[in-house]
Amino acid sequence: MPVLTYKYRLFPNSTQAVALTDMLGSFCDLYNACLQQRIEAYRRQGRTLSYIDQASELKAVRLIDERLASYSYSAEQQVVRRLDKAFRAFFGRVRTGKGGFPRFRAKSMFDSADFRVGDGLTIRKSRKFGIVGIPGEIKVRWHRDLPAGAAAAVLSRSCGKWHICFFVETPDAHGPDPVRAAGGIDVGLTSLIATSDGDAVPTPQWVRMASTKQRRLQRALGRCRRGSKGRLKAKMRLARHSARTANQRRDFAHKLSRTLVNLYSHIAFEDLNITGLASGMLAKSVLNAAWGQLISFTDYKAANAGGLVAKVDPRGTSQECDCCGMVTPKYRPGESPIRELNNRIQDCPGCGTVEDRDVHAAKVIKHRAFPWLKGPGAGPGASSQPVAA
């Protein structure tokens, strides 16, 4: 069953904020203590402790540790489980030879806690939250309705702001409906995306802003003396900037994916995993994250709406002609690579088609994913489409 996340901002008063910070601190101590215990059990007895071993001890520990006893038992179990996950991931990595041993965590970096809804965390009649061990009720901004059936929630702290995420299981989509409208999407550097119908979405301002400002803040951080106050401030500035960019990106991806899903039932993207992550150019790495998020948001929104997102092999999408299938090499003889970069027009020597290159690539992508839609008169109605696998 697909799981949807619903995130809300919390507004604890100053007493509650201190209490929440204390709680995360206690959970961090618990995490580190469990890690210590695992290390010692292995050193002294060659034993590898499991989640069950440590969780069954938790009850006894709570009897003597007042601080732990004042917080939610199930939330503390989740802390133990989190360490167990870290170990499982570590053992998994050992096999590939890239093992990093789970580390002790700093309180300043221990930013979240997992809860069972209705156990350690309850939604009160007042529509505020009650969290075991935190005084009073915590205000929350319900910017959208939370569907019934949320069993798990994560409380998190980021740049001094508190949020809560609920995880809601949604029934399986019934599989894609017949094609209502299909579209191909090409992602690029000049336009963020281009559709097979000729629409282009310009690259948002924040992409460039994000990378230039990030570079500046990173440089400033690099100049600060280690352990100095200025370094801490520079670090906060960089963290706030990253968080802000991530928010802008998510907001943008949600809105654009919604537009695409309203426009098309069947949507084809390039499979970015095949392209490989761009490295080096910072703006490109910002864009890469944006595309990845856009595709995954479109994917689940389309599935919920009875549509489908297909990913195709991206190789050569910009060299192939959609009309006659002719493949034009990247550089024609005698053409300089600089001209190639500025050459935004697909100009096919085979059939003479002239079109914007990105839009044309989007058409190629569309027809790679839905080949039965190709050819004259192949509209949504004229389908002899195969049954979707």
Residues at the site binding Zn ion, with contacts judged by CB under 5 A? 321, 323-324, 326, 348, 350-351, 353
What b/e string do you get for 127-143 counting C-beta neighbours within 10 Å, with b at 16 or more?
A: eebebbbbeebbebeee
C-alpha span between 210 and 325 (Å, rounded)? 39
Beta strands in 39-188 (DSSP E): 112-116, 121-123, 129-131, 139-141, 150-158, 161-169, 182-187
Q: How far is the CB of 326 from Zn ion (least distance, A)?
A: 5
| Residue 69 vs 351, nearer CB to Zn ion | 351
| Residue 53 vs 355, nearer CB to Zn ion | 355
Q: Are strands 266-270 and 308-312 parallel, antiparallel or unpaired?
A: parallel
Q: How far is the CB of 349 from Zn ion (least distance, A)?
A: 8
C-alpha span between 170 and 302 (Å, rounded)? 14
Q: Which run of H or of E encompasses 79?
A: helix 73-96
Q: How far is the CB of 359 from Zn ion (least distance, A)?
A: 14
| Residue 348 vs 362, nearer CB to Zn ion | 348
CA-CA distances (angstroms) from residue 118 to 8, 16, 110?
17, 19, 23
Q: Report DSSP state, residue 146.
A: P
| Residue 100 vs 349, nearer CB to Zn ion | 349
Radius of gyration of the chain (CA): 26
Q: Which run of H or of E encompasses 303?
A: helix 282-304
| Residue 70 vs 319, nearer CB to Zn ion | 319
Q: How far is the CB of 325 from Zn ion (least distance, A)?
A: 7
Amino acid in the structure at residue 107:
K
Q: Which of 371, 367, 366 is nearest to 384 (CA)?
A: 371
Q: How far is the CB of 328 from Zn ion (least distance, A)?
A: 8
Chain CA centroid to CA 301, Å: 14
| Residue 118 vs 350, nearer CB to Zn ion | 350
Other Cβ atoms closer than 10 A to 22: 16
Q: Please check whether residue 362 is in contact with residue 368, taking contact to mean a CB–CB distance below 8 angstroms.
A: no
| Residue 74 vs 328, nearer CB to Zn ion | 328
Q: How far is the CB of 237 from Zn ion (least distance, A)?
A: 52
Q: How far is the CB of 327 from Zn ion (least distance, A)?
A: 10
Q: How far is the CB of 320 from Zn ion (least distance, A)?
A: 9
| Residue 159 vs 324, nearer CB to Zn ion | 324
